[in-house]
Amino acid sequence: MTKRRAWTRDELLIAFYLYNQMPFGKISARNPEIVRVAELLNRTPSSLSMKMANIASCDPVITASGRSGLKGASKADRDMWEEMSSDWETFYVKSSEAFFKIAPKNQDIESEDYNFTGQHRLIQSKARIGQNQFRQIVLSSYNDKCCITGLDIPNLLIASHIIPWSVNPSERLNPSNGLCLSSIHDRAFDQGLITLNPYFEVVLSSELLNKNQPFTELCFEQYEGKAITLPTKFIPKEEFLAHHRKEIFRH
């Protein structure tokens, strides 16, 4: 019997990189991206997709929803999940570095973002990588659709922060601190004109409700009291939403 090849740390980082950026429902040995990356790793698509499904079993959002992934998560899988969730920014850098070691040179990303030379460049690169991955993970978790309106035009979608970037550095890149919103709803959320209640329902400020204009009716009032479409991974944390309601929302 052929001995099963152990996963190296870099390979596991790459599997996490893909898991984070791919909707749970698209994890399949037939997914073209999984096929492509598996070939670069000299592994079978089934091996890579199974590893990603094992990672899913470490994800509390997946297991809480009744979806279990596979039950073969190793100690290394669980340890890496803990490593990721304890320091998102550093993990994004490590997983990106591992991925772009094997990725073709024509990836749709500026290579300078991954050029770690000099302290200033290192800080800039870490920030860019963190922002890029945060956006990609949040959008993919919501299947590239605004969670309020269902808009699915990528150029009009924003990975919104629930707690602002500057307020809590340790959580600013946590995908559970993110919402996928259209640009206008992102701006309204950022300015405290809309928020979400504990049931993930849209709440409008009195300022919007008192406008009584066709535009506000079209963009906002029709969604009042309606629940957002929840993500397949990284559901917004209630403590983050509570902060937004208390500190940012205008009531």
pLDDT tens, 195-207? 999 999 999 999 9
Collapsing DSSP to helix, strand or coil, 57 comes out as: coil
Q: Is residue 15 part of a domain?
A: yes
Q: Within its chain, how far is the Cα of 183 from the centroid?
A: 17
The residue among 83, 117, 141 that closes a domain is 141
Give every CB contact of residue 69 below 8 A, 6+ residues apart in sequence. 53, 54, 55, 56, 57, 59, 62, 63
The residue among 119, 141, 163 that closes a domain is 141
Show the CA angle centred on residue 72, arms to residues 68 and 75, nearest 5°. 115
Q: Is residue 147 part of a domain?
A: no
Asked whether residue 136 falls in the same domain as residue 26, the answer is yes
Collapsing DSSP to helix, strand or coil, 181 comes out as: strand
Asked whether residue 76 falls in the same domain as residue 158, the answer is no
CA distance 157 to 142: 11
Asked whether residue 35 falls in the same domain as residue 114, the answer is yes
Asked whether residue 96 falls in the same domain as residue 166, the answer is no
Q: Is residue 175 part of a domain?
A: yes
Q: Is residue 201 part of a domain?
A: yes
Q: Is residue 234 part of a domain?
A: yes
Asked whether residue 112 falls in the same domain as residue 160, the answer is no
Asked whether residue 132 falls in the same domain as residue 166, the answer is no
Q: What is the pLDDT along the chain (251 residues), one digit of tens a residue?
A: 456 788 999 999 999 999 999 988 899 999 999 999 999 999 999 999 999 999 988 887 776 666 555 556 688 999 999 999 999 999 999 999 999 999 876 454 444 444 444 544 455 567 788 899 999 999 999 999 999 999 999 999 999 999 998 898 889 899 999 999 999 999 999 999 999 999 999 999 999 999 889 999 999 999 999 999 999 999 999 999 999 999 999 98
CA distance 251 to 246: 9
Q: Is residue 3 part of a domain?
A: no
The residue among 111, 141, 171 that closes a domain is 141
Asked whether residue 21 falls in the same domain as residue 125, the answer is yes
Q: Is residue 77 part of a domain?
A: yes
Distances (CA, A) of 114 to 61, 146, 190: 31, 29, 30
pTM of the model: 0.85
Asked whether residue 159 falls in the same domain as residue 94, the answer is no
Q: Is residue 1 part of a domain?
A: no
Instruction: Tell me which residue range forms the domain holding 86.
Output: 9-141
Q: Within its chain, how far is the Cα of 112 from the centroid?
A: 23
pLDDT at 124: 55
Asked whether residue 131 falls in the same domain as residue 161, the answer is no
Asked whether residue 82 falls in the same domain as residue 29, the answer is yes
For the chain, what is the domain count?
2
Asked whether residue 30 falls in the same domain as residue 119, the answer is yes
Residue 153 structure tokens: 């035009």
Residue 229 structure tokens: 């479409």
Asked whether residue 205 falls in the same domain as residue 227, the answer is yes
